[in-house]
Amino acid sequence: MCGIVGKLNLDGMEPVHPQLIKRMKGEIAHRGPDGDGDFLSGPIGLGHRRLSIIGLESGAQPMSNEDGSVWVVYNGEIYNFRELRTELEVRGHTFKSDSDTEVIVHLYEEFGVESVERLRGMFAFAVWDERNQLLLLARDRVGIKPLYYANTGKALVFASEIKSLLVDPSVERRVNPRAIDRFLTYYYLPGEETLLEGVYKLDPGHYLTVNNGRITKRQYWDLHFQVSPRYTSFDEAVEALQTLLRSTVKDYMISDVPVGVLLSGGVDSTGVLRYAVEQTDKRISTFTVGFAKEDFADERPYARLAAEHYGTLHHEITITAKDFFDFLPKYIWHMEEPVCEVPAIALYYVSRLARESSVKVLLSGEGGDEAFGGYGKYRNLVALEGLKSAFGPARGSLRFMLERIGAIGWKGLTKYARLVDRPPSEYYFSCASTPDTPFNLLKQVLYKKDFGQSLGGPSDEPTRRLYRQLNGLPLLHQMLYVDTKTWLPDDLLIKADKMTMATSVELRVPLLDHQVLEFSASLPPHFKVRGWSTKRILKAALRKSVPSEILNRKKVGFQVPYGRWLREESKDFVYDTIFDKSSPLRTYFCDAVLLQVFQAQQRGEEVSQEIFALLVLALWHRQFLNGTPATA
């Protein structure tokens, strides 16, 4: 796990200044405190910051082939590198290191840009082909590792983090108004755009090439939901999943430094731990986090249960409101993209605890819900479709029934009543970014006229576009696909990467291995969700080896009491940040409407996410446009 930077001058002539690469590397020193290097040749400059995980003594980057004609800088882990190395040695390639990095160089020599398709793992890398004057940028299939770039017209600048791009004075700091609108719709930014005009994310499962000044982007992988006739028996599929999980976690344990496990007390992280303990004769360290003096569901007792069951060396940390808000400016600085992912701050603290405990690699259960259908929204919306079919032309009666039950006491049914007459393409917003949030209801009056007129198309186009491509797929598979292409890489995985790397810790997510995702995609929907059961096949695979208290507990998610904190301990900080006279928010939004939202939150109404979104936007502008970074 590392950080990469680089610049290619498109005229093929002008050299890259060494000091620029040095400064770009300096911005991401937290990603690689164990070493740094660079390579400059004519129009190309490559830089690298290293976190030593595999090949501790011989894995320095940039790394080249035998004659120095191909160079690579790389961030990530290739889990099949040993098999690839054996194949490449048979083909005559000579290796000078024990690291997985060198496999990328020789694989490129052998297969060119198609070499990306042979890699299994998480990665973002740049390959420079000196002979052909070709630059290849590539990102892993799911988007576990980030990669940003900007085309200035004269050069392509790229890096693991946006802050490195901004070191180059040719990369302008201009806000993207469409992205602000989109952020207030989703509370993260799906797709390739960022909050900075002209700065993009390389999409997951894509690579980009630059040759003779021509920039080309291509998708090399997608997740295809096509039920395989191989698994007609649920029990046979369970056995196949057990075998796949065992081999996957074994591969993800490859490391020359200690590996630990993040425990949430849920099925996914406990399942990862269950297979991890099989792969080592050493006692595994586990880590969990909780909050001080809070009276809501606490994950820690379940994490302790799992730790005791598997005999781990367990560590816990408790954080307070003060810890939360002390780190908030640095949260913005490290995240770089506006994301309302409040648990990310807890992830920072627990990752720091792991680092202080001499653990540099952590396994996580991230992605189990998206892979196997774990969210309640999947179950509820599939059930709604079934009811709509059963009621047929009498859907009005269904809507009335749901509204009445919701009014009597089960308020959650009210939002489903509103979806009875809507197509599945609008289901995404029923539970993720609903059309009934204050921002979406108030946009017509929230936005100042000039700002509103600058936005262009609809803010929810990224997910609507994906749904339009999925006609004919079962509803569950439509939802899993859209979440895997948007919510997962642009919210959860951004959080996972940025917060762990802020502490110089590598996070690995075995349940998002592309072979696990492809296996799940080949199964019929009812193997994953049936009736009120979610993650059905994963729970069946773990039933004999995970404590029943964990396996059968109600899913509650990781709760953070930030609503009360925003309303009480940090009320003044929130108000001063949002309503400061120099706040850029006041150039986009009407003060009176902002005040309505703030006052609603103070009354205890459910608008904490909206307030946190405003806080994130204000702090982001302060740091990335006004030049007052909160360095970590």
Active site residues: 2
At 158 the three-state DSSP class reads: strand
- Token pair for residue 467? 């749904």
- DSSP lists the bridge partners of residue 64 as 71
- Token pair for residue 439? 């921002």
Residue pair 269/312 in contact (Cβ under 8 Å)? The answer is no
Query: Going by DSSP bridges, is the β-strand pair 214-219/206-211 parallel, antiparallel, or unpaired?
Result: antiparallel
Residue pair 205/222 in contact (Cβ under 8 Å)? The answer is yes
In single-letter form, the type of residue at position 520 comes to: S
Q: How far, rounded to the nearest angstrom, does the alpha carbon of residue 44 sit from its chain's CA centroid?
A: 29
Q: What is the DSSP letter of 554?
A: P
Q: How far, rounded to the nearest angstrom, does the alpha carbon of residue 408 sit from its chain's CA centroid?
A: 39
**Contacts for 524-533: CB closer than 8 Å, 24+ residues apart:** 524/227, 524/231, 525/373, 525/382, 525/474, 525/475, 525/476, 525/477, 527/231, 527/234, 527/237, 528/372, 528/373, 528/476, 529/373, 529/378, 529/379, 529/382, 529/476, 531/379, 532/379, 533/379
- Token pair for residue 353? 């605890």
Measured in degrees and rounded to the nearest 5, phi and psi for residue 39 equal -140, 125
- Token pair for residue 491? 């919210």
Question: What is the 3 state secondary structure string of 21-89?
Answer: HHHHHHCCHHHCECEEEEEEECCEEEEEEECCCCCCCCCCCCEECCCCCEEEEEEEEECCHHHHHHHHH
Q: Which residue is it, tokens 């939901």?
A: 225
CA dist., res. 72 & res. 368, Å (int)? 32
Taken in order 491, 494, 497, 500, is the CA torsion positive or negative? negative
Q: Alpha carbon of 341 to those of 150, 338, 562, 616: distances in Å?
A: 26, 9, 11, 10
CA dist., res. 459 & res. 585, Å (int)? 18
For every residue of 195-257, DSSP letters joined together read SBTTEEEPPTTEEEEEETTEEEEEE---------TT--SHHHHHHHHHHHHHHHHHHHT--SS
Q: Which candidate, 631, 621, 625, 548, places its Cα nearest to that of 586? A: 621
